[in-house]
Structure 1
Amino acid sequence: MTRLETPAGAIEFAEEARRTYDETRERTSSVPPPDEQGQQPEPHSLPAQGGHAVRPHFRARSAQSDALEQALELVGSSPDSAVMLAWRAVEVAYRDLLGGTRSVQEAARQLEARGLSPSVAETMVRLARLRARVSHGDHTVFPDAAFDFVASCEVVLVELEAIGSGLIVDIHD
């Protein structure tokens, strides 16, 4: 045996995912865009899984919403996959906005210059670090932590969508 998985890593991941989600929701004043009829989307919640309480969130309306939907469906059965899929949605969104590949740190700086709030830019970097832990097998992910991660990705995607749609104006214009 070369590695022993302890719950400490999973707990650490869960705490950081929760803290990231809480801080992101506190610092951002963004509200999901209205639907076609001008109505705010209803809060969405997942059914409780494994006795874990599930918190409501708003569904992002973006090109990446299908990926988030799939990630949410995987939260209970494959939390690691949910994290990977949700991050991929963020990654595709910022690369589409900026045209091409770049590090998440560079993307965050460039997006801040285009109007992304510093707190959301910081959230992007934190989410990338959390995703890296999962992809390298450093941590087991509990369903609640995966949900927090996906919900944080959703907040970032709403902000990225606002930049892409021109709701946030480039400060260099």
Structure 2
Amino acid sequence: MALEKTSILNDFFDEFEHTAWRLETRESYASDLRSDRYQRFIQGGGYTPEGRDGFLAERRRLAGEGKKVQRVRIVDQPLTDNQRFLLASAPYNTEAGEKIRYLWRDQSAFRKVPLDDFWLFDSSILARFHFEGNETLGVELIREPAEVVAACRVRDLAEHYAFGYTRLCSWVLSQG
């Protein structure tokens, strides 16, 4: 198994034709935890999209071309600090054209959704993330049909049971 740097994903975002779909399963991501945005957020400064202009512009471009970028985030009860941070960023991603939905971690275990992070491009290329702790080591690029079909099944299952931003925000507010 050869791991590629995550920057290779930029090539797939340039080349995919229809849909890029992500499953996010981690309680936290080191890349977020290191960011100034996260540090401000965790210290009570709220969320700002500062420094994400290029990312958001790219998502708008893809949406303008009719391409779909979607993700399901596995979340905990209560949300981890990193999950709250990602929830705060969601309106900006959504405004830029992404569709983000959520699935409770205990529900995902019940539904037998494997807890592997991955991107699935056009239901034909699987980019499975590998981690050590919350640090991304790289991605494994998979084109083998059986593994890609298995990821498509995970996508379909997760999408079927996932719920939207408003429901998650309502739950967060109900927790005080």
Q: Give the structure-1-normalised TM-score.
A: 0.29
Tell me: higher relative CO, structure 1 or 2? Use CA pairs within 8 A at least 6 residues apart: 1
Higher strand share: 2
Q: Give the structure-2-normalised TM-score.
A: 0.28
